[in-house]
Structure 1
Amino acid sequence: MDRRTAEPAAAASGADVALLRLDEDTPAVRRARAAVLKMRLAPGQRRFARDAVEALPRADADPHRTPFAVLHTGRPVGFGILDRRGILAELTDAPGRALLLRAFYLAPEWQGRGIGRAACAALDPLARAVAPDAREILLTVNEDNPPAIRSYLAGGFERTGRRYLGGDAGPQQVMRRPIH
């Protein structure tokens, strides 16, 4: 049993994880939005990302951002945003062919189960729907956040060798994965 949730601690399979766009008005989306707005980052992660309660309204106000919930067996357990603009011009030579993954996190009680890796693998259909011309997904991850770096690598991202120095919490690695 997992002490944090009193549920069996099992690794997630790709079939257990789905992404739900949060920019539509349906009962399922309203429930998911309410759930992600209650999620909080783990205290040690607060310097690297923003809670959905702060990031979701910003995404709603920006037509280039598409917020989504990470669902595990239908239950919202995480949050993220695909951005068609953002800082892409600083990260790649082909910003019109890329998306930026930002504000991505899982609620602390769901971390360490392979859900993040499965969510990264599930990005392709959402990415194609959001930006049909995009060929890759980019992200920046703080160099002082090794657990996130390991998670992204396990989720199919690779290091580009570039660094982004404009982050609030210090230097960040730029990572990428192709959209299949």
Structure 2
Amino acid sequence: MDIRTRLISTAEQLFDRHGFNATGMDRLTAGAGISSRTLYKHVGSKNGLIAAVLNERDRRFHRQVEKDSIDALFGALEAWSAQESARGCLFLRACQETGGDVPEIAEAMARHKQRLRDRIGQIVVAEIGRRDDELVETIQLLFEGATHMAAYRGITTVDVARRAAQRLADAARAS
């Protein structure tokens, strides 16, 4: 594993477990086994590192949710929560902890959320045979809510959201 990959992987684990503000540069360099000079050479700044972590997480997440049904989408969320963590959305946590005004972090979050919305939009068309922006918004709300509830209620909440989303899609198809 190259230095940048090791740094990003270590940083993601530390940020997810301890938060962005509580994870200092000393902890990051020690965890990755590199010097602070090497860290800055590869990512430029802590905000640059956060953005790199989010972009890598986005890539992995969207590879996992490349599904074509509501059932499979929520199944992917269950698997993601079991594998990665059930601590809520790392993108929203990054924006909250950094105040939401760090451009590279805000852009990473906006891009991630738009990609999720686009995926859900494709699933809605596949499930009901037409576009339905309100249904897309509602399913994304259920998906995001399940992501956060899993942090304190367990991943079984994902199944509740899945069933609700499927009922809404079934009703939209029937109307």
Q: TM-score, normalised by structure 2?
A: 0.31
The structure where helix makes up a greater share of residues is 2
Q: TM-score, normalised by structure 1?
A: 0.31
Report the structure number with the largest CA radius of gyration.
2
